[in-house]
Homo-oligomer: A and B are copies of this chain.
């Protein structure tokens, strides 16, 4: 199977190299920006790929919704299988791509869009065929996990941890999508769609780690807790789907606490299989490229789709999910959580442990406080 590659950045180079070494797969043309066609295998117009009858499949690793979406639809309509590592694309346009691929009789797979080298979505899709998926989630963003690990193992502050992540290539120049939790949110959106056939487009909540200070780390570590950025997706008995991302204070012995550096831990719970967790590198050239290659090899073996055929866009509803929260907020605002236990009071700021409150209420309260100019950090507290 001859595979064209869209994009020749970090992941694209890895995919191209692996294609040249793979049995049963062949490297086709690579789409680059005009003016960058400095080698014979590079082309700068998508038509050179979609109109090339020798190309069987297209692997898109450019990132961003456009022009990736336009190229994807052109490839699919031209009868090419389509594989992507692009979570922004699939989170926004996955249902449309899935429908178009089914109509064109081609495969549409995107393992690399969630979990990097961790074969999470493939297994989730496979499990959903014969088991009822109860929940999905985990540590899905390697950049923030690296930063959290650094802050907690070395005492570095947020800015220093971010700088180090950028120097090591774990964080981009603009790290917004990672540190705000948006990247992890897109990944949990994909997992919900794979598990339950609903790609939530609104009602979602995401809190990142950009409010975390070295003082927060010092305080909750003294209380025996470790912070991880965790994505959660769950389907209630009535069919409503919750999907959100937030920092969670796990206990030192919990499995998440052993997930270090830029690693991911993706998990699902099947009614029959029980809880399954998968740990590996969530980003990087070769881990991500390996996921693209596994999808391409899977297409040769007949794999067609990760979303169910009838997958639709829908809404998340986080009103029923509840946790106790650790919150740092101005002392003057403490009456927002009248039933909370006060853990520390330095005269200006409080650290409190709330009673069980809804995820929705916590995220909305923090947003309201920030809108009023107050600094807030919060994290759900994992129960015993």
Contact = CB atoms under 8 A, between A and B. Distances in A.
A173 to B, nearest CB: 24
Nearest to A126: B294
Contacts of A126: 119, 122, 294, 297-298
A290 B126 CA distance: 11
A273 B286 contact: yes
Contact of A253 (B258, B272, B284, B287): B258
Interface stretch (A39-47, A159-167, A228-236, A275-283): A275-283
A275 B280 contact: yes
B278 A277 contact: yes
A269 to B, nearest CB: 9
Interface stretch (A18-26, A69-77, A178-186): A18-26
Interface in A302-320: 302-304
Interface string A233-256: 000000000000000000001110
Given A119-B123, A130-B25, A302-B301, A274 B254 contact: no
Contacts of A22: 129-130
Given A255-B258, A258-B258, A276 B117 contact: yes
The size class of the interface chain A forms with chain B is 35 or more
Contact of A274 (B18, B259, B274, B287): B287
A127 interface: yes
Number of copies: 2
B287 A272 contact: yes
A273 to B, nearest CB: 4
Contact of A127 (B286, B290, B302): B290
A217 B294 CA distance: 42
A18 B293 CA distance: 32
A270 interface: yes
Contacts of A114: none
28 contacts: A18-B272, A23-B129, A24-B129, A25-B130, A117-B270, A117-B273, A119-B123, A119-B276, A126-B297, A127-B290, A130-B296, A130-B297, A131-B294, A255-B258, A258-B258, A271-B286, A272-B287, A272-B290, A273-B280, A274-B286, A274-B287, A275-B280, A277-B278, A277-B279, A279-B279, A301-B302, A301-B304, A302-B303
Given A118-B276, A127-B290, A130-B297, 14 more contacts: A23-B130, A117-B272, A126-B294, A130-B294, A255-B255, A272-B286, A272-B287, A273-B290, A275-B281, A276-B279, A278-B278, A279-B279, A301-B304, A302-B303
